[in-house]
Structure 1
Amino acid sequence: MFVEAQLTKSQYDVIRSKAKDRFLSYKKIQEAKKECYPDKKDFKVTETGAEIDLQGLLDHTVTQFGMSTLYAWIRFFECLINLSYKLPLQKWQARGAKNKEIIDIRKHETRQKFKSELGLIIDKPKPGYGSSNNGNTARRFFENAAVSSEITGIDIEVIKRFRTILRAMSSRYTIDLPRFQAYTLESAHLFVEKYSWYCMPPTIHKVLIHGPIIIETALLPIGQLSEEAQEANNKMLKKYREGYSRKISRDKTNEDIINRLLISSDPPITTNLNYKISIMNNNQIKVNVNSNEE
């Protein structure tokens, strides 16, 4: 409505003042507008014009309207973990020193229980990259739904429903969309009914409400569009950097890495060779090659 009616901020505030329960605050409108913009590095504005990098715009569009099955596991997991931290207060935000202390104590207890009962290290930053919240941790959380429910205090039905949805998305098979849509909507209603005080994260909303539409428009089953192959290549990328690149400059290092990746993904090589690559205990690469040629 804000865009279609071409409202100014003051006009929108006047309309909202008459029905605050129906219209979001202008701050929320600003946040939504920012989600429409690509990364700042992808566009350049000067006195004479503006330029937007096409690939950056495409990447931003895919991020908004596509679905990542791998990161869906992580986002659903983080949603439930953060929800569990705030269960003692049952408030979206912890304000005041006392409330923040309650959240910190709850965090510590939850982390310790997951470590002792499931051997999972959750919500811990890793030196150099990311955090311990990865795909494997998320899968272990959902696979052990009963234990996870007992530790977090979250309704086990919510955890099981999220697990079923994530499994269906990752299955690489064609999904029965009418049944999937009905199931996701029921799950969304259950989540809101149980935890109405907690704002549903955007990724969860996208999957539960808009997921069937995105899946319907995809050319392949959504599970086949996962980034798991790319993520699995990270180990080889690190190995190529350590053992198969020149260290005289960053340019030469990156040149050798990209050359090695191009060789390993070259169609004539990948179609004519079957090979298995494994990392040995002594941190060496072992390659078993079986040629398809007679």
Structure 2
Amino acid sequence: SMEERPIYIVDAFTHSPFSGNPAAVCILEKALNPEAMQQIAKEMNLSETAFVYPLEENRFSLRWFTPTVEVPLCGHATMATSYAIITKTKLVSVESPLIFETLSGDLTVIPLPQQSVNEPLLLEMNFPLGNPKPLHSVSEPYTDLLQALGAPLDSKILDIQFCANTRKLLLIFEELQSILSLSPVASKLLEITLPGVDIRGIICSTRSTTGTEYSAYDMVSRYFSPWNGIPEDPVTGSAHTVLGPYWQKVLNKKEEEELKAFQASPGRGGEISLRINNKENRIFLCGTATVVVSGSIRLPKV
């Protein structure tokens, strides 16, 4: 008889289906061999497929595969997995933190208490705090950058910073419209060389949300990572570990004060709220998710 396991497609960092960042979540009973996991991830063909099984109470093994390789860490798929476990299985008591054993060590996801059944279930993860620093080696005009990003050439870049531990370049734009109208050319982005930095992703952000549909947010961003095979990512946890500390300083937010962020990927988009613990050098990312597909998948005979 063929073995089947429950599988879900979950949109993370959104409460509206068909937005946010989608991941597949496969709920296993025990370890599955990596070739089989890779085959399933290839079949699902989403940016990540998560494979999870219980170890002991509220403790799980979690691995993530793209259609071609296993990856050591994936924030949105961890959010998706937590949401699926809490809402679709009997494996956990809702109030308790979930602990995932992963290639990047233990990750903890905390379900926040719901005020009412109608409210979205909020989940909080924490990550190492990014550390963006001004790049003094780059000066105007930023013509090459703007052209590679497909930005309107009258776009004004106010600040350029680089976070060495995440290898992300952070570009701060004056106008929201510049961010919304970016249409990067991946091959041109890959050709960008800046002195002394090894770029693996570009975050474009702005605070100019007043009087727009994004006025509820402290900042809006988009994220491009053709270096990792992702021309544009719908909603990116790791980018917000860099955006958080940058905007905390600029907007004079106190420690632990909430920052509301929107990632405006065309046609999808999602929201994350951020809290920073400077003493511990951690950032808390909070969001919700929604299940869009529920089914079962045959386990490959490998």
Structures share a fold, TM > 0.5?
no
Query: TM-score if structure 2 supplies the norm length?
Result: 0.23
Query: TM-score if structure 1 supplies the norm length?
Result: 0.24
Structure holding more strand per residue = 2
Q: 1 or 2 for the larger relative contact order (CA 8 Å, sep ≥6)?
A: 2
Q: Which has the larger radius of gyration?
A: 1
